[in-house]
Amino acid sequence: MVQFIHWIRRANFLRSLHRSSGLGQPLVFLFHSERGSAELVSHRRYSDIQSLPLSVDNIMASGQQPSSRSSFPPQTYHNFLVLDFEATCDKQLMQPQEIIEFPILKLHGRTLEIESEFHMYVQPVVHSELTPFCTELTGIVQSMVDGKPKLQQVLQMVDDWMRKEGLLDPKVNSIFVTCGDWDLKTMLPGQCQCLGLPVPDYFKKWINLKKAYSFAMGKYPKNGLPLMIEGLNLQHIGKLHRGIDDCKNIANIMKELARKGFTFKQTGSNL
């Protein structure tokens, strides 16, 4: 509570400082309830912040109290695009594998809040029947992929979504984030090569979350998501190996690493 009062005083101080400075642009004081931090921003910057921070007045009215967590550090990207493919598989190695779930979460580069979601199931062509092993592993049943668009169409839908979200604007700096290198180093380029499809450039650089985690925590998470979730004392969301759920867990891990002060950097490239 002491800290809360301190922030209110600081907000009032900054407001009076602004009034006396004669600055033209009105200022807004934002209180981030989850982060437990406060930030002074201009209206223009406020419109850039697409998360839903609570104002000091709202916090006072609701009686909420801030936690003691610190602010996130600035990141070098405007957006992170969390991606996790699920693909056809069997107990033995299946060749070729085909993507059957194509989820992307768009995260704000500073708050790491989810701003938008792309999610499609994809019809496999070579092995059109999912194996019991695959359904057990991913939770994806045959009816979820039957009649769904094929990879070429889904890649076009991804491109349309990227454009709609402003991610194709050259001034917007975004990067994909995956758990491991397999999704963008192996799976997508391999299937595109089989189909004679070009791989868009935005899929050719990425952050491998396992490497980011090992840089931040000093331990490589060999078994991937479960170990990172446990290492950060987070709750697992949904089903492991369901693409969209894996993306949500990746997003939570990223947020926690950012909260600890970690700045994400590119780790892989196919360029």
Q: How far is the CB of 147 from Mg ion (least distance, A)?
A: 23
Contact 133, 163 (CB under 8 A): no
In the set 32, 86, 98, 165, the catalytic residue is 86
Letters for 223-252 (x = contact with Mg ion by CB under 5 A, - = none) are ------------------x----x------
Taking CB under 5 A as the binding criterion, the range among 62-70, 80-88, 123-131, 160-168 that sits at the site for Mg ion is 80-88
Q: How far is the CB of 179 from Mg ion (least distance, A)?
A: 5
E strand or H helix at 52, and its extent? none
Contact 120, 148 (CB under 8 A): yes
CA 109 to each of CA 27, 133, 176, 195, 242: distance values in angstroms, whole numbers, following the listed order = 22, 37, 12, 33, 24
Of the residues 84, 98, 165, 245, which one makes contact with Mg ion according to CB under 5 A: 84
- Give the gyration radius of the chain's Cα atoms: 21
Q: Which is nearer to Mg ion, 82 or 179 (CB)?
A: 179
Query: With contacts defined by CB under 5 A, how many residues of the chain interact with Mg ion?
Result: 4
Q: Which of residues 105-164 bind Mg ion (CB under 5 A)?
A: none
Q: Which position's Cβ is nearest Mg ion? A: 246
Query: What is the secondary structure of 72-111 as a DSSP string?
Result: PPP-S-SEEEEE--EE---SS--SS--EEEEEEEEEETTT
Q: How far is the CB of 182 from Mg ion (least distance, A)?
A: 7
Contact 143, 130 (CB under 8 A): no
238 backbone φψ class: left, alpha, beta (φ>0; ψ -120 to 50):
left
Q: Which is nearer to Mg ion, 246 or 256 (CB)?
A: 246
Catalytic: 127?
no
Catalytic: 86?
yes
List interacting residues with Mg ion (CB under 5 A).
84, 179, 241, 246
